[in-house]
Structure 1
Amino acid sequence: MNRYSTYPDTKLLLLLKDNDSQAFAEIYARYCQDIFNYAIVLVKIPEMAKDLVQDVFIKIWEARGKIEIEKSFRNYLFRVCHNRAYDIQKEIAQNRHLREQLINYYEPVIEPEALSQEGDTPYGRLMQQALNSLTPQRRRIYEMCKHDNKSYEEVARELNISPNTVKNHMSNTLSFLRDYLKEHKKLTPILIWLLQKIF
């Protein structure tokens, strides 16, 4: 058994101040999972939570000679994590790619089929806006298939086009609607959350 694992935090910190790397390794092993669990709550994105954990322990190593703990070392680590997470949240707010990762974390992709019957609700109105953005022919094909429950063959006969053309229109329309709903439904609540965190 590694004797360091039996030491209380107070002794590990004293050893850490003397540049004992094994004491640091024990502190990391003892608390890295707790800090990760806290980090994922704060920043949501797993990759960023892992980076946050590394940042916390790098800071602990770099400040090892100056650390003064009055009560709980675990709570001290959480405070360091929280402070660093605040900087990361500002970074997310300013980085489109990171915002998109955060948006994807919060809500799954919305399927247009799930919203097509929503009517006068925020989701239903959003679906209507998306449909209004379609070309007249694509919207007609979509409504014939989804609202009138017609097969591709039936739509093709009525519009005098091939079933394969109907299929391609539907595939492109559903892809467009998913992207539209994903972008417009998710942005507002997430940006509000980010602004609250920053200001």
Structure 2
Amino acid sequence: MAAYNSYTDQELFVLLQQGDQIAFAQIYERYLQLLFRHALDMLHDEDEARDVVQDIFQMLWEKAGELEIHTSIRSFLYASTRYRVLKRIRHSKVADQYLSTLRNEFESCVASTDQSIAEKELTKKIEAGLAKLPPKMREVFELSRVHELSYKEIAEQLDLSDHTVKRQVSNALKIMRETLNKSLSLFV
């Protein structure tokens, strides 16, 4: 291994292309710390920086026979590290956007489900309130609120006075309010 210390990067790369493990180990020793610091400066995360540098050296070992480096090994390794870091940052941003979209969809779905449940509960409470009304009062109330007839139209249809219709609707509203207020106070 001592003889390999004196080899130039170019000589080591030629040996590496022939599958020389000692040449690879020498390149690894020469550039590991430099590439790690370079990656760390860009990522500000030691684990991420280590992963990037390991990926670079793994690629160098696996593809050494196919690589044609027209610059120095140093320049190639620095450029590869920078490219890997930028690719990781870009992937991280895409993943963050995807997670944000999923989070928003989930929250929207939960809100929609909560709203649907609340509407069903309110409908049940209204129906319970309507069930408490005497039959004639319920009929007057439904004609007023559901069918949207005026007091005069209800009075004519049911053969009642306007005053009686108004009083029946007022009493029905009072009973409905009390029923709903009791139900809502359970949730507060």
Q: Which has the higher contact order (CA 8 A, sep 6+)?
A: 1
State TM-score, norm by structure 1. Answer: 0.46
| Higher fraction of helix | 2
State TM-score, norm by structure 2. Answer: 0.48
Mark the structure with the bigger radius of gyration: 2
